[in-house]
Structures are given as structure tokens and as C-alpha cells.
């Protein structure tokens, strides 16, 4: 059924890959896991039976592609063309000097000092959220994924646009993002259907809702341009801070970058939180341990940014949740020139997929990888692993720019809920995965909460 290529990489044939297309739409991880177990950490696959792709869970190869020789690897058409079609060209899907220019400017919004300024905004959003959450908790089970999407949408929306952004507008953007992402995934795993999507009007339908989202964001940009007040949000930074050349971002650039940050930020935080609550409900002994740690670190004191990073056990729990359910379950790159790593030849134009979910579940790296064990991330254990064995936010120069902001959001919510509630699963059923652009649960995660 399978054969070896001349460079000793196991190969899944074009026919096998094509026959897997429908399953790739439903759950690409199930396909990659099948071949990882059959062929080992690195194998050749063909997206839609056409796109030659090296899929790897080898930390050495991943480090080489994302860091050591990253100049030879650009993001693939998955992001450069498919994402740009609906989100424009911004930090997440650009390269070279433009990418570096955008990265340097946007990074100013994720410094320690700026995140400290954002903390009150996020706390206000959380306080409002908890009022509604407490009313729902009294009535019965709650779909925690639905609740986390609501919270993170508002938290990211207010962090980007300030308190002036209306909740209805945030909800509209969230629905648009979700619908477009599902369509983008179809194009990625079934590229041969792209012409049909265009002929049938499917592409135009999603372009229409994309344009409506763009217009909504542009209205907030226009409004801010006219105001004299200053705000501690990302929009203010993008409008005010110049590039090294002295020029400012155009309104179109501001719109694209805020939209991309909204997409990435909401999806990342909401899904990490959902999976963390799910795992804690299955392992309630850690709820008490986290609660005790919060009391030691903060007591009755006000929560501050520095204190969040003293929650060692809580951060270990989050790291383990992101190992089992990494938000970025894969990354895509394309080789600009021929390359060699660990005896494997990567020819020019080959797509390379650092398959993060596979790395995080690799028994050669992790003992009993399907078990939930936060002690894996104790300081004494971290030094024994490859630095690219745990990369939930990616790695190298293009590591997720908002990871510190995401951790701040996640820790705030987790602390607030654990301080007030014990919780358990409403039904003792395993929750499956839904690998979109970010790794989602494949259905509701229903929890029951009890005030302590």
C-alpha cells in the first residue's frame, strides 16, 4: 500500500491521500494520526491528492523549519492566498520586510507595560461576564465552550477597540469569523473544489459577509480618527505609533491587522479555556490545588499582571491542557529552495507541516502521552525535553505575537471561576476534537457549577 521515497521518507500515495479528502474535511487529525501510527514521525502526504506535503512530528525538523533555517520557508497558500482572500494581507500571512515591519510595530501592543494597561479593561469585561455566568450556573448545566467564546470575543474586542465597541457588533464579527473559517478549511483540504465554489456562488456569499465585517471595523477606525481622547487599546497603538520611517499605518492596514488579531486571539483563548475546564472537571483534585495556589499568591490582594505569572501550578495545568489540545494543531510552510535536515531531503516547493498535535502526543517524547499530568511541566522536568517538543503557540521568530495576552486572559478567567466554584461534567462522555484553523471541541462541553 505504501512505499518509500528515494530520501527514505514513507509516502502516502496520491490515491490514498485523495480518498482521505472527505475525512480531512471532517477531522484532518484523524487522518494524520492514522499515518503517524503507521509510518512514524515523518511522512509524505498529498493534500487533496495533489499538494505534495511533508508532515512531521520530529522536533529537530520542526526547529530547523521554524527557526534555524526559517528564511527558506514561507507560509503556504493555506494562509497566503486562502486567508488573504478573506482577511487581507497582514502580519499573519506576509513575509520578508513587510512582515518584519508589521511585527515590530504590533509587538508594541504586547509589551509588559501595555498588557498591564489592558488588565483593567479585561477585568471589567470579566466582571460583567461573571454576573451573567452566575445566573446561568444557578439554573443548571452550562456549555463552557459557548461561554468562553462569548467572554473572549468581548475581551479581545474591548482590548482592540476599547469599551466603545458594542456587544452586538462583537457577536456579528464572531459569527462571521466562524463561518468563514469553516469555508476556508474546505478549500484547504479539498483544493480541487475551489473552481466549483466560485462558479456556484459559494465564494461570493462568504465574500459578502467578509465585506460587511470589514465595513464594521472601518467604522470604528473612522470614529477613532475623529476623537481627541486617548485610549489604552490596540487600535490607539496602530493609529498613533509610526514605523521607523515615520509613516503611519493606513486605515486599510489597521483594519486588516485588527481583524486578524481578533480572529487569532478569540479562537486561541476560548478553546484553551474550554479544554482546560474540561480536563479540570475530569481531574477535580487540581481544582483545589489551583485554588490553594491562588490564595497563597494573591490572598485578598488585587490581581496584577506580575502576580499572574507566579501561579506555577496553574500555568503547568494550562501547559498540559495545551499539550493535549494545542490551539495551533498544525503549522504550514513551503520550501523556497532545496534543503536537507536529519538525512531527509526537502525539495523546493514542498509544503512542510509541523504537525503539533502529533508532536504533543508522541510517545517517544512524552511518557503515557494521553494521560493528563501537569507535573510534566515542573521546572525539573522541562530541561529534559527538546525545546520544540511543546509548541502550542508555534515557535521561532513567527511564534504567536499575542501569546502573553492570551495567557493573561486565560489565567484571569480560570482564577475567577475556580475561586468561586467547584464543577464537574454533566455527562460522563468524552469530548471529541474538531480541528479547524484552531483545535475546537466537536460539541458542547456541559459542566455543572456549585458555589463554594
pLDDT tens track for 65-93: 999 999 999 988 766 776 667 777 888 88
Mark out the alpha helices in 190-227 (DSSP H runs): 194-200, 202-226
Q: What is the DSSP string of 109-156?
A: GGSHHHHHHHHHHHHHHHHHHHHHHHHHHHHS-EEHHHHHHHHHHHHH
Residue 387 has φ and ψ, to the nearest 5°, of -65, -20
Assess contact for 324 and 368: CB atoms under 8 A.
no
Which pLDDT score is estimated for 6? 44
Q: Which parts of the chain register pLDDT below 50?
A: 1-6
Pick the CATH number of 3-451 from 3.40.50.170, 3.30.1490.150, 1.10.630.10, 3.20.20.60: 1.10.630.10
Q: Three-state DSSP class for 342?
A: coil
C-alpha distance from residue 69 to each of 86, 96, 281, 283, 340 (Å): 29, 14, 42, 41, 10
Q: What is the DSSP string of 406-437?
A: HHHHHHHHHHHHHHHEEEEESS-----EEESS
pTM of the model: 0.90
Which pLDDT score is estimated for 306? 82
Whose CA is closest to 445, among 185, 270, 267?
Answer: 270
Residue 201 has φ and ψ, to the nearest 5°, of 95, 0
Which pLDDT score is estimated for 7? 56
pLDDT tens track for 193-228: 888 889 999 889 988 988 898 898 899 888 888 887
Mark out the alpha helices in 325-402 (DSSP H runs): 356-360, 379-382
Sign of the C-alpha dihedral computed for residues 409, 413, 418 and 419 taken in this order = positive
Nearby residues of 451 by Cβ (< 8 Å), 6 or more positions away:
137, 420, 421
Which pLDDT score is estimated for 427? 86
- Domain locations along the chain: 3-451
Which pLDDT score is estimated for 78? 65
Alpha-carbon radius of gyration of the chain:
22
Q: Distance between CA 174 and CA 168 in Å, rounded?
A: 10
Strands 351-354 and 421-425 come out as: unpaired
Q: Which residue has the cell 456569499?
A: 205
Whose CA is closest to 234, among 165, 173, 181?
Answer: 165
Amino acid at each position: 500500500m505504501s512505499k518509500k521515497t528515494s530520501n527514505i521518507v514513507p509516502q502516502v500515495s496520491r490515491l490514498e491521500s485523495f480518498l482521505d479528502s472527505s475525512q480531512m474535511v471532517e477531522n484532518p487529525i484523524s487522518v494524520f494520526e492514522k499515518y503517524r501510527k503507521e509510518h512514524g514521525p515523518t511522512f509524505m502526504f498529498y493534500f487533496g491528492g495533489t499538494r505534495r506535503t511533508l508532515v512531521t512530528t520530529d522536533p529537530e525538523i520542526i526547529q530547523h523549519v521554524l527557526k534555524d533555517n526559517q528564511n527558506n520557508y514561507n507560509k503556504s497558500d493555506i494562509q497566503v492566498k486562502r486567508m488573504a482572500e478573506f482577511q487581507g494581507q497582514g502580519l499573519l500571512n506576509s513575509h520578508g520586510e513587510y512582515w518584519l515591519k508589521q511585527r515590530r510595530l504590533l509587538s508594541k501592543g504586547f509589551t509588559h507595560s501595555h498588557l498591564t494597561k489592558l488588565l483593567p479593561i479585561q477585568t471589567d469585561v470579566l466582571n460583567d461576564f461573571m454576573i451573567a455566568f452566575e445566573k446561568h450556573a444557578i439554573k443548571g448545566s452550562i456549555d463552557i465552550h459557548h461561554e468562553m467564546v462569548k467572554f473572549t470575543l468581548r475581551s479581545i474586542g474591548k482590548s482592540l477597540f476599547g469599551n466603545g465597541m458594542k456587544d452586538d457588533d462583537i457577536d456579528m464579527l464572531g459569527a462571521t469569523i466562524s463561518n468563514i473559517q469553516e469555508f476556508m478549511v474546505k478549500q484547504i483540504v479539498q483544493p480541487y473544489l475551489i473552481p466549483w465554489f466560485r462558479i456556484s456562488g459559494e465564494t461570493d456569499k462568504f465574500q459578502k459577509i467578509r465585506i460587511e465585517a470589514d465595513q464594521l471595523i472601518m467604522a470604528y477606525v473612522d470614529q477613532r480618527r475623529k476623537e481627541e481622547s486617548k485610549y489604552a487599546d490596540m487600535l490607539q497603538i496602530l493609529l498613533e505609533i509610526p514605523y521607523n520611517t515615520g509613516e503611519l499605518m493606513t486605515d486599510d492596514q489597521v483594519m486588516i491587522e485588527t481583524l486578524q488579531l481578533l480572529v487569532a486571539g478569540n479562537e486561541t483563548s476560548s478553546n484553551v479555556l474550554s479544554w482546560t475546564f474540561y480536563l479540570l472537571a475530569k481531574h477535580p483534585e487540581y481544582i483545589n490545588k489551583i485554588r490553594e495556589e491562588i490564595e497563597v499568591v494573591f490572598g485578598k490582594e488585587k490581581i496584577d499582571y506580575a502576580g499572574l505569572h507566579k501561579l506555577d501550578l496553574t500555568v503547568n495545568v494550562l501547559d498540559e491542557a495545551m499539550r493535549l489540545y494545542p490551539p495551533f494543531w498544525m503549522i504550514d510552510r513551503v520550501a523556497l529552495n532545496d534543503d536537507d535536515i536529519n538525512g531527509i531531503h526537502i525539495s523546493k516547493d514542498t509544503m512542510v507541516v509541523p504537525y503539533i498535535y502529533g508532536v504533543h502526543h508522541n510517545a517517544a517524547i512524552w511518557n503515557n502521552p494521553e494521560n493528563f499530568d501537569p507535573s510534566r511541566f515542573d521546572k525539573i522536568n522541562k530541561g529534559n525535553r527538546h525545546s520544540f517538543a511543546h509548541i502550542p503557540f508555534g515557535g521561532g521568530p513567527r511564534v504567536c505575537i499575542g501569546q502573553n495576552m492570551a495567557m493573561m486572559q486565560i489565567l484571569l478567567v480560570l482564577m475567577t471561576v475556580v475561586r468561586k466554584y467547584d464543577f464537574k461534567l454533566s455527562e460522563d462522555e468524552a469530548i471529541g476534537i474538531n480541528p479547524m484553523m484552531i483545535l475546537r471541541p466537536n460539541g458542547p462541553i456541559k459542566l455543572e457549577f456549585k458555589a463554594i
